[in-house]
């Protein structure tokens, strides 16, 4: 499995001026690698050319030299670390687009289900939404090409293209007797870092910074905080879960909204000490309200910089699961003919010196991306003395991460005397497991619920025609408790649907045992179909175990920041 399969976590890079690699630069590198011997570069180049000649003269089929050369470069980079990668011209273009806040396409979220790629939701104010694509539309052709066996990525690539150019989709819609055709002109599609920002309860704001760190991230955060402040913001949940990272300068600015002015945010250390640099908050006077940061195993790189800075300074509580552990800095180099590569040139450290990167030695690339260092323990914290809480008679202990018997790296003393361990991502102050969704039964329930709700919103479930959705989503609406009730009648209709579906792979006993999960997923899809994906995300947050716990921890987050702020060693 190629590491490019996991490209979302290769993101956090320092953008440099385009640099051509080769010629004198390449020969100097070869010479240095062989101890400076004059013949070093010549020997390596000769061996490569000899191997290529043998292949050319003896291989049984026609050789695709471009593909072979790409594989050679990629193999060389993978021998270094999991995040140094080669990109073809098309991949390099996509890499550059992913660091922007917009791309050109039609603006639709799609997902492969068991028999094809379906529309999950159109994005507000995009060509897809204006054209009338809806939840549950099955994409069966793109520009006349049959897509029923295509992957999500293949369909996504096919519908993207130059702005203003048309693309024609053939879709199957539940409730429609004949296929529908949509000719849509591609346009600029917003790709914001902040997908949701709202008051989750009076005085408590939520910012879902889950879309990577692009050129507009800090500006988006500033706007979200200003908007929430106007609504009475007094406490904040910053959600970094599944945020794969992005631009270093944006991570620094985002963290600077929270850590004290003049304090460190992150340091970058390279092989050449002259390239080492510490970045501080020189941008903002930070907000001072209680803060909880949500993270998980999909929070990587720039996300870990922010979470690490908040945790090191005791500015708020980090809640959830251990982050990915991506602390290698990549510089982008442009190669001839539109190709490019990312090369690791430095490592990230938190303000007090914790290495963010976890070990990638002794395993395959697949193991590195698929497993979150299962042998590592959870970092403890130590706080030998705790002052009394303001306004109270007793001492309120500074919140501490869950103790662990086996530290995963060197001990680092941070603000307030708390001790954490580096070398394995950012461990949360409070570990909280997410909603269980990966079990085989729940995975099958999710799939079956999608097909059921597709029929339900298409008006195809007898006796439940009132659930039919006849127009594009009403974006911007918040689901009320009385909207889309999943009552016993709906549950019975789902049971009947499961019994009729030979591909369900579910028993009625399993459905009964998981009835609450069935209700959750049915209503999620109903909200999605009617109000859009952002509204569905907001609905799911109401019962999210990590979010629920975060809301309970604000008193501890406040005590932590205040106690550390009064300690002399926190300066």
CATH code assigned at 120: 2.30.42.10
Statement: residue 27 has pLDDT above 80: no
Query: Bridge-partner residues for 347, per DSSP?
Result: 269, 328
Contacts of 373 (CB under 8 A, 6+ apart): 322, 325, 358, 359, 408, 424, 425
Q: Does the active-site annotation cover 156?
A: no
Marked catalytic residue, from 137, 239, 312, 544: 312
- Residue 156 domain-assigned? yes
Contacts of 212 (CB under 8 A, 6+ apart): 8, 11, 98, 193, 243, 244, 245, 246, 302
Residue 102 is predicted with a pLDDT of 65
Statement: residue 33 has pLDDT above 60: no
Q: Does the active-site annotation cover 145?
A: no
Q: Identify the domain containing residue 166 by its residue range.
A: 102-190
Taking alpha carbons only, the member of 546, 499, 540, 500 closest to residue 522 is 540
Residue 56 is predicted with a pLDDT of 92
Average pLDDT over every residue of 45-53: 89
Average pLDDT over every residue of 277-297: 95
pLDDT in tens, 77-126: 988 999 999 998 888 887 777 666 567 899 999 999 999 999 999 999 99
- 253-257, 328-332, 389-393: lowest mean pLDDT where? 389-393
Percent of the chain with pLDDT over 70: 84
Give CA separation, 330 vs 97, 142, 184, 211, 214, in Å.
Answer: 17, 36, 37, 19, 15
315 in Cβ contact with 291 (< 8 Å): yes
Q: φ, ψ for residue 391 (rounded to 5)?
A: 80, 5
Torsion, Cα of 248, 224, 540, 441 (10° steps)? -10
Q: Does the active-site annotation cover 326?
A: yes
- Residue 432 domain-assigned? no
Q: Which pair of structure tokens corresponds to residue 78?
A: 């993978």
3-state secondary structure of 214: coil
Residue 478 is predicted with a pLDDT of 87
Among all chains, which residue has been given the structure tokens 């289900």? 113
Q: How many domains does the chain have?
A: 2
Average pLDDT over every residue of 229-255: 96
Statement: residue 377 has pLDDT above 70: no
For the ranges 56-60, 69-73, 97-101, 520-524, the one whose mean pLDDT is highest: 520-524
Residue 101 is predicted with a pLDDT of 58
Marked catalytic residue, from 170, 326, 427, 558: 326
Statement: residue 28 has pLDDT above 70: no
Q: Which pair of structure tokens corresponds to residue 240?
A: 């970094």
Rounded-to-integer distance, Cα 322 and Cα 493, Å: 40
pLDDT in tens, 401-423: 333 435 567 899 999 899 999 88
Percent of the chain with pLDDT over 90: 67
Marked catalytic residue, from 84, 267, 299, 301: 301
Among all chains, which residue has been given the structure tokens 């030299």? 65
Average pLDDT over every residue of 175-181: 96
Rounded-to-integer distance, Cα 489 and Cα 465, Å: 12
pLDDT in tens, 528-567: 999 999 999 999 999 999 999 999 999 999 999 999 876 6
From 137, 168, 190, give the residue that closes a domain. 190
- Residue 158 domain-assigned? yes
pLDDT in tens, 121-159: 999 999 999 999 999 999 999 999 999 999 999 999 999
- Greater confidence, 119 or 14? 119
Statement: residue 12 has pLDDT above 60: no
pLDDT band at 337, cuts 50/70/90? confident
Q: φ, ψ for residue 252 (rounded to 5)?
A: -65, -45
Rounded-to-integer distance, Cα 455 and Cα 467, Å: 10
On the CB side of 363, CA atoms within 13 Å amount to 16
Residue 39 is predicted with a pLDDT of 62
Residue 378 is predicted with a pLDDT of 33
Taken in order 394, 396, 402, 407, is the CA torsion positive or negative? negative
Residue 370 is predicted with a pLDDT of 75
Rounded-to-integer distance, Cα 397 and Cα 563, Å: 9
Contacts of 203 (CB under 8 A, 6+ apart): 232, 233, 234, 235
pLDDT band at 387, cuts 50/70/90? very low
Residue 379 is predicted with a pLDDT of 34
Give CA separation, 463 vs 116, 316, 459, 497, 521, in Å.
Answer: 28, 50, 9, 13, 20
Statement: residue 201 has pLDDT above 60: yes
416: left (phi over 0), alpha (psi -120 to 50) or beta: left
**What mean pLDDT value characterizes the chain?**
85
Taken in order 104, 336, 343, 374, is the CA torsion positive or negative? positive
Average pLDDT over every residue of 367-375: 60
Residue 206 is predicted with a pLDDT of 98
Contacts of 235 (CB under 8 A, 6+ apart): 203, 204, 205, 289, 290, 291, 292, 554, 557
Rounded-to-integer distance, Cα 136 and Cα 468, Å: 12
Q: 264-270 and 340-349: which strand pairing?
A: antiparallel
Residue 533 is predicted with a pLDDT of 93
pLDDT band at 371, cuts 50/70/90? low
Among all chains, which residue has been given the structure tokens 């048309």? 166
Statement: residue 54 has pLDDT above 80: yes
- Residue 284 domain-assigned? no
- Residue 505 domain-assigned? yes
- Per-residue three-class SS string for 352-395: CCCECCCCCCCCCHHHHHHCCCCCCCCCCCCCCCCCECCCCCCE
pLDDT in tens, 432-456: 999 999 899 999 999 999 999 999 9
Statement: residue 393 has pLDDT above 60: no
Statement: residue 22 has pLDDT above 90: no
pLDDT band at 298, cuts 50/70/90? very high
Query: Bridge-partner residues for 207, per DSSP?
Result: 197, 238
- Residue 206 domain-assigned? no
| Helical (H) or strand (E) element with 185 | strand 180-185
- Residue 571 domain-assigned? no
- Residue 161 domain-assigned? yes
């Amino acid at each position: 499995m190629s590491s490019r399969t996991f490209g979302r976590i290769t993101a956090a890079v320092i953008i440099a001026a385009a640099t051509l690699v080769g010629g004198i630069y390449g020969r100097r590198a070869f010479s240095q690698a062989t101890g400076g011997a004059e013949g070093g570069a010549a020997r390596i180049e000769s061996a490569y050319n000899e191997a290529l000649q043998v292949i050319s003269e003896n291989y049984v089929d026609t050789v695709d030299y471009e593909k072979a050369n790409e594989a050679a470069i990629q193999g060389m980079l993978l021998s270094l670390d999991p995040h140094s990668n080669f990109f073809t011209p098309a991949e390099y273009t996509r890499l550059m687009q992913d660091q922007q806040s917009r791309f050109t396409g039609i603006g639709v979220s799609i997902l492969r289900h068991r028999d094809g790629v379906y529309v999950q939701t159109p994005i507000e104010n995009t060509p897809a939404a204006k054209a009338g694509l809806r939840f549950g539309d099955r994409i069966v052709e793109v520009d006349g090409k049959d897509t029923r066996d295509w992957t999500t990525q293949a369909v996504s690539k096919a519908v993207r293209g130059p702005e203003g150019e048309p693309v024609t989709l053939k879709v199957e819609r539940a409730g429609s007797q004949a296929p529908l055709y949509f000719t849509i002109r591609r346009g600029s599609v917003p790709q914001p870092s902040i997908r949701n920002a709202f008051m989750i309860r009076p005085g408590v704001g939520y910012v879902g910074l889950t879309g990577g760190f692009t050129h507009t991230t800090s500006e988006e955060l500033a706007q979200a905080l200003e908007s929430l402040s106007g609504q009475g913001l007094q406490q904040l949940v910053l959600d970094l879960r599944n945020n794969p990272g992005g631009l270093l300068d944006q991570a620094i600015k985002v963290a600077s909204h929270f850590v004290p002015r003049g304090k460190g945010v992150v340091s970058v250390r390279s092989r050449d000490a002259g390239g080492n640099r510490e970045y501080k908050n020189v941008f903002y006077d930070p907000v001072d309200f209680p803060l909880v940061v949500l993270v998980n195993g999909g929070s990587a790189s720039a996300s870990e910089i922010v979470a690490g800075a908040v945790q090191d300074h005791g500015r708020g509580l980090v809640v959830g699961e251990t982050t990915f552990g991506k602390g290698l800095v990549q510089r982008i180099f442009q190669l001839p003919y539109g190709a490019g590569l990312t090369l690791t040139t430095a490592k990230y450290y938190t303000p007090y010196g914790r290495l963010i990167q976890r070990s990638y030695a002794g395993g395959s690339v697949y193991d590195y991306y698929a497993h979150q260092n299962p042998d590592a323990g959870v970092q403890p914290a130590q706080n030998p003395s705790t002052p009394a809480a303001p306004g109270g008679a007793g001492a309120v202990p500074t919140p501490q991460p869950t103790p662990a018997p086996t530290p995963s790296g060197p001990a680092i003393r941070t603000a307030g005397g708390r001790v954490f361990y580096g070398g394995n991502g950012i461990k949360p102050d409070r570990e909280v497991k997410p909603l269980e969704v990966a079990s085989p039964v729940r995975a099958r329930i999710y799939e079956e619920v999608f097909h059921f709700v597709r029929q339900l919103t298409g008006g195809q479930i007898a006796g439940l025609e009132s659930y039919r959705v006849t127009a594009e989503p009403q974006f911007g609406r918040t689901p009320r408790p009385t909207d889309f009730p999943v009552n016993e009648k709906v549950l019975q209709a789902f049971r009947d649907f499961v019994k009729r579906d030979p591909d369900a792979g579910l028993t009625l006993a399993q459905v009964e045992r998981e009835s609450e999960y069935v209700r959750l997923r049915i209503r999620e899809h109903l909200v999605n179909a009617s109000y859009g994906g952002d509204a569905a995300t907001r609905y799911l947050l109401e019962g999210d175990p990590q979010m629920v716990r975060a809301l309970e921890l604000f008193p501890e987050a406040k005590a932590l920041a205040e106690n550390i702020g009064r300690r002399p060693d926190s300066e």
